[in-house]
Amino acid sequence: MEKLLNELSSECQPAYGVECDVAINAQVPENLKRSIPLGLPSIAENDLLRHFTNLSRKNYALSTVFYPLGSCTMKYNPLINERIAGNDAFNNVHPYQPIETMQGVLEVMYELEKDLCEVAGMDTFSLQQAAGAHGEFAGLLVIAEYFKSIKQKRRKIIVPDSAHGTNPASAAFAGFEIVPLKSEPDGSVSLDKLKEVLTPEVAAMMLTVPNTLGIFEKSIDEVSKLVHDNGSLLYYDGANLNAVMGIVRPGDMGFDVMHINLHKTFSTPHGGGGPGSGPIGVKSFLEPFLPVPRVEKKKDKYVLNYKKSKSIGKLKAFFGNFPVILKAYAYVKALGGKGLKNVSEQAVLNANYMLAKFKDKVDVPAGDRCMHEFVLSPKTLLKNDIRTIDIAKRLLDYGYYAPTIYFPLIVDEAIMIEPTETESKETLDKFVNVVNKIILEESCQEPQKLKDAPINAPVRRLNEVEAARKPILKWE
């Protein structure tokens, strides 16, 4: 166990320090001056370096292990894009400096909006949103303002039970009432059940295509027609866009509003909660309601337009998470249309290759074909009171970050795997062999290993219930 900095501290050793060039006798009011020392740890520079290096080696990250986190698209992101985003010419720009001095920044944003329109089949985009759920919230506010503008009172949102958890949460936060929709066993929409819940009060239906079981919505044309014939709108959750880029576009499927997770699909690492970016795309009739400011081009100059009378307003400081936007811009320009299509084709190929390796040994609720991800249900194979969480913990001992588990909720003991397009066949084969070994052998022959797992990790298994209900937020 790595010690804390305070435990490593010793007054007897030379300490790493920082020189301060601020005059000590600066005019600081007496009531604001410290009466006791800061109490910073006293650690030599080499010990400090070793401490943080050792901590970094305990992490599970894309740079060290395969990260098959279903629904999250945890793929390798080109490091060249990090270098581009770290360029001082962009980092030193302040969003409130004169517009004439930030034309390059605005050009990047303007061009990325156009590129995302092409990829998604939408008419216009806003890059301001800070994450996927933030994009959902913004899109739902746009929908609410649209119906308000045409004097229709529609306060319900249809959300399938296979949807991402943020869908109902975002809709509720935007002031809507949630109408749950029971899915078919493969997560697809039941047209008969959809007809039952489509009423004049429904503002929109939120849908993910492919769905959370990795299946393309085979009835999307019929779904779109039913929703629009009801006077409602169709919202696209872009979490699974990595499966369809260059192959099919949400706008062409009939979606009116959507968000894209730049931090999933377009080259920004998003472990640890950020940073993120969730641009929203809309059809032209919804453009007046997008957040301000809008980036516009007038002749040869880029400007920021705050004067949009129907806008839902400003949702984030400044214009969005620009470093994430910049990485997405570099990614799109480097790959082009053919390259983005190849990304999706390779992602789908890798997922189907893995699924073919699993399907004869582990139950696959949604069938033997998938898009970019798939769900396993080892429930019937698990012995000795072993559960999916035990498999996930045991994978850590083999050096793998575990896939998403217990999601989607409609599958018992779910294991959701998304290999992405950036992993090699050798990596996929090794992972499949380990998962099969744990499920088919260890759960029967060495169940205690799974119950005790992880055994070799720096931290042993935690009590999840106690951690959730009684979190330790401060070290005493």
Specify if 65 maps to a domain.
no
The count of domains in the chain is 3
> What's the one-letter identity of residue 443?
S
Task: Tell me, rounded to whole angstroms, the distance of Cα 216 from its chain centroid.
Answer: 20
- Region 454-458: what's the mean pLDDT? 90
Tell me the DSSP string of 170-209.
Answer: HHHHTTPEEEEEPPPTTS---HHHHHHH--TTEEEEEE-S
Q: Are residues 374 and 260 located together in one domain of the fold?
A: no
- Same domain? 134 vs 242: yes
Note whether 31 and 148 are same-domain residues. Answer: no
**Same domain for 295 and 162:** yes
Specify if 24 maps to a domain. yes
The size of the chain, in residues, is 476
Model pLDDT, residue 271? 62
Residues 176 and 281 in one domain: yes
Q: Are residues 42 and 118 in the same domain?
A: no
- Among residues 337, 333, 330, the alpha carbon closest in space to that of 268 is found at 330
In a domain, 417, yes or no: yes
- Clarify whether residues 23 and 114 are in a common domain: no
Q: Are residues 285 and 351 in the same domain?
A: no
Q: d(Cα 57, Cα 76) in Å, to the nearest integer? A: 18
Looking at the domain assignment, is residue 91 inside a domain? Answer: yes
169 and 258 in a single domain? The answer is: yes
| pLDDT tens readout for residues 198-225 | 999 999 999 999 999 999 999 999 999 9
Q: What is the pLDDT of residue 18?
A: 62
Average pLDDT, the chain: 92
Q: Which domain holds residue 17?
A: 5-56
Within a domain: 64: no
The closest of 134, 84, 99, 137 to 295, measured between CA atoms, is 99
With cut-offs at 50, 70 and 90, classify the pLDDT of residue 36.
confident
What is the per-residue pLDDT across 300-341, written as a single tens digit (0 to 9) for each? Answer: 999 999 999 999 999 998 888 999 999 999 999 999 999 999
Query: Would residue 268 count as lying in a domain?
Result: yes
Q: Residue 382 sits in a domain of what CATH number?
A: 3.90.1150.10
Tell whether the model's pLDDT for residue 476 goes beyond 70. Answer: no
Does residue 423 lie within any of the structural domains? yes
Predicted TM-score of the model (pTM) = 0.90
- Of 295, 314, 335, which one is at a domain's C-terminal end? 335
CA angle 396, 372, 269 (to 5 degrees): 60
CB of 118 within 8 A of CB of 341?
Answer: no
Same domain, 36 and 131: no
Q: Is the same domain home to 319 and 349?
A: no
pLDDT of 42-76, one tens digit each? 888 888 899 999 888 888 888 888 999 998 899 98
The CATH number of the domain holding residue 115 is: 3.40.640.10
Together in a domain, 314 and 348: no
Of 310, 335, 360, which marks where a domain is finished? 335
Residue 68 covered by a domain: no
Closest CA to 124 of 20, 257, 10: 257
CA dihedral (101, 103, 109, 111) in degrees, to 10, reads: -170
Cα–Cα dist 44/87, whole Å: 32
Task: Give the N- to C-terminal CA distance of the chain in Å, as an integer.
Answer: 18
When comparing pLDDT for 276 and 250, which is higher? 250
- Among 279, 308, 335, which residue terminates a domain? 335
